[in-house]
């Protein structure tokens, strides 16, 4: 096919993700508090994302309490832990290795969705996931060959 808006968004997201990994690689060794820095990252993510909450078809005038509970629990749990783990890991792991780990997030999420929630994937989605795994495996294999005597 053709290039659509979702493809462009995916590409922009990939560039932003790569930028974050490289930025963290530069900043991580100088950060005194991983927890403080993770909190700062979450605040900036919220500030950048907030304007987009007002773009769209409609805005709910009243947000149900259960939605706030879900939002806060996702922000305080998985998001905070992910930023914290990333800070800690990138103090000792090369940016290329960190990038490979983040690259595998989507195929693992798809596989777990299939395993636990019986989600159905289209052939193109399976092929995309396999391509990501193949690239990661080839990259890891190549770096291991370079290190061996």
> With contact defined as beta carbons under 8 Å apart, do 74 and 82 qualify?
no
Beta carbons of 110 and 132 less than 8 angstroms apart: no
Given a cut of 80, whether residue 3 has pLDDT beyond it is yes
In this prediction, residue 99 has a pLDDT band, given cuts at 50, 70 and 90, of confident
pLDDT at site 126: 87
Stated as kind and residue range, the H or E segment containing 112 is helix 105-117
Taking alpha carbons only, the member of 130, 1, 82, 13 closest to residue 90 is 82
Q: pLDDT band at residue 146, thresholds of 50, 70 and 90?
A: low
**Mean pLDDT, the chain, integer:** 80
pTM for the whole thing?
0.59
Token pair listed for 51: 């304007």
What is the Cα–Cα distance from 149 to 146, expressed in whole angstroms?
Answer: 8
CA 71 to the chain's CA centroid = 17
């Amino acid at each position: 096919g053709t290039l659509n808006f979702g493809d462009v968004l995916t590409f922009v997201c990939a560039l932003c993700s790569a930028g974050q990994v490289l930025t963290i690689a530069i900043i991580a060794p100088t950060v005194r508090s991983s927890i403080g820095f993770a909190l700062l990252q979450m605040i900036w993510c919220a500030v950048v994302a907030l304007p987009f909450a007002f773009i769209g078809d409609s805005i709910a005038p009243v947000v149900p309490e259960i939605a706030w509970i879900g939002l806060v629990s996702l922000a305080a749990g998985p998001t905070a832990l992910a930023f914290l783990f990333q800070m800690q890991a990138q103090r000792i792991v090369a940016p290329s290795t960190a990038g490979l780990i983040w690259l595998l997030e989507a195929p693992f999420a798809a596989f777990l969705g299939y395993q636990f929630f019986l989600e159905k994937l289209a052939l193109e989605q399976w092929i995309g996931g396999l391509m990501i795994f193949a690239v990661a495996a080839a990259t890891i294999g190549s770096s291991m060959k370079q290190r061996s005597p």
